[in-house]
Amino acid sequence: MSWASTENRYGDDKVFDACGLFGFMDTSGALHDGEAIVRGMSTMKERGNGLGSGYAAYGIYPDFADLYALHVMCRSEAARRDLELRLRQGWTIAHDEPIPHREVAGVLDAPILRRYFATPRGEREPGLSEEDHVVRQVMAINTERDDAFIYSSGKNMGIFKGVGHPDQIAEYYRVDEYRGYLWTAHNRFPTNTPGWWGGAHPFGLLDWTVVHNGEISSYGTNRRYMEAHGYQCTMQTDTEVIAYAADLVMRRHRLSPRVAALVFASPLWDEIAHLSPDQQQLCRAVRQTYGPLLLNGPFTVIIAREGEMLGLGDRIRLRPLAVGIKDDLLYISSELSAIHLVQPDIQYTWTPEGGQAIVGRLGQRPQPPAHVQRREPVLESELSYG
């Protein structure tokens, strides 16, 4: 069987156009089923071509909330058995089952999909955290073989992705049956990488997930930097490196999301020269320390983890990003129309400046920028870094 298969009407797996992003977070922690995320994503169906779409959801496994939920894809039953044997050597598995799905017209050549709720076991190196131990386990498995891999590995969350349109993949995975406080979604128009089940978005590691619209021309430099820090890129796409970079700078190096945004979409040097002394010091330190992680090229991303969602676009805003707020709900989308469809009585909407981080956190009701509350243009003095 082939990993890559689709009803693609263009007859090509390299079509230069656009991807669609949508995400929302209820900062009160209230759970929502997948209906809204599917409607929001499906209204941007023309931004994809059936070569991939997917969803990430947080808070969906309350009965196994303290266990890592390992979602795996396998080419064959023999590959699944081999992978399971490998997992049982390093993990204590409390429960495992096929990932529930429905047969859907147009979703072709699906791999074998299974999930394992488990905890890692065995001795760790001195000073190695449990999370770092899990990262090593996942990286080892995903680099050992090309017929099976772990594509989701966080606690109380999961990724559901494949080759198809958003409505098809949602129906296939029965997304409407899950309830989460944070959802992200993606509709793919592949550019420089093939359309295949593992190459669909979101990409994840631990509880990090990333959906991405654009093209990272600095991928080679970014990848080499991440590999120097122990990460292995195996998914044939530039987006994968962003998920690993988020883990490095925000989990391991403990940078805040807003400072991490300076790593990925730093101001230009001539812009830095006009900032306040404190902001200049911060921006220069970030550029000098994390220069190889600067993302060149057009992009917007939604990066999520447990309790947090970050929306970010490139410094000169070459890809679209719209934001909306309704009470405790924060919405991020490639198109404003999707936000209005899902939330007709939205209170605030705006387009962020290039490189401006949009951050949502559990327990913190989202607030629009001052110029949005005033319904006036943004003032240069209101832009901040860090």
- pLDDT tens digit at each of 386 positions of the chain: 345 444 445 455 444 447 899 999 999 999 999 999 999 999 998 888 888 999 999 999 999 999 999 999 999 999 999 999 999 999 999 999 999 999 999 898 899 999 999 999 877 888 899 999 999 999 999 999 889 999 999 999 999 999 999 999 999 999 999 999 999 999 986 666 667 788 889 999 999 999 999 889 999 999 999 999 999 988 778 889 999 999 999 999 999 999 999 999 999 899 999 999 999 999 999 999 999 999 999 999 999 999 999 999 999 999 999 999 999 999 999 999 999 999 999 999 999 999 999 999 999 999 999 888 877 665 554 555 55
Using DSSP bridges, classify how beta strands 348-350 and 322-326 pair: parallel, antiparallel or unpaired. Answer: antiparallel
Contact (CB, 8 A) for 308 and 361: yes
Kindly provide the b/e burial profile for residues 86-124, where b requires at least 16 CB atoms within 10 angstroms of the residue's own CB: bbeebbeeeeeeebebeebeebbebbbbbbbbbebeeee
Other beta carbons within 10 Å of 294? 18
Pick the CATH number of 20-261+295-382 from 3.90.1280.10, 3.60.20.10, 3.40.50.10680, 3.40.50.2000: 3.60.20.10
Q: Which residues make Cβ contacts (< 8 Å) with residue 314, sequence separation at least 6?
A: 214, 265, 295, 297, 298, 299, 300, 354, 355
User: Domain limits of the chain?
Assistant: 20-261+295-382
Q: How far apart (Å, rounded) are the C-alpha atoms in residues 174 and 246?
A: 29
For residue 35, the surrounding DSSP H or E stretch is helix 35-42
Q: Is the peptide bond before 202 cis (omega within 30 degrees of 0)?
A: yes
For residue 304, the surrounding DSSP H or E stretch is strand 299-305
Q: How far apart (Å, rounded) are the C-alpha atoms in residues 287 and 285?
A: 6
Burial (0-12, 13-18, 19+ Cβ within 10 Å), 245: buried
The model's pLDDT over 19-75, given as tens digits with 9 standing for 90+, comes to 899 999 999 999 999 999 999 999 998 888 888 999 999 999 999 999 999 999 999
User: Catalytic residues, which ones?
Assistant: 19
Nearest to 334 by CA among 304, 311, 363: 311
- The number of residues in the chain equals 386
Nearest to 357 by CA among 257, 272, 276: 257
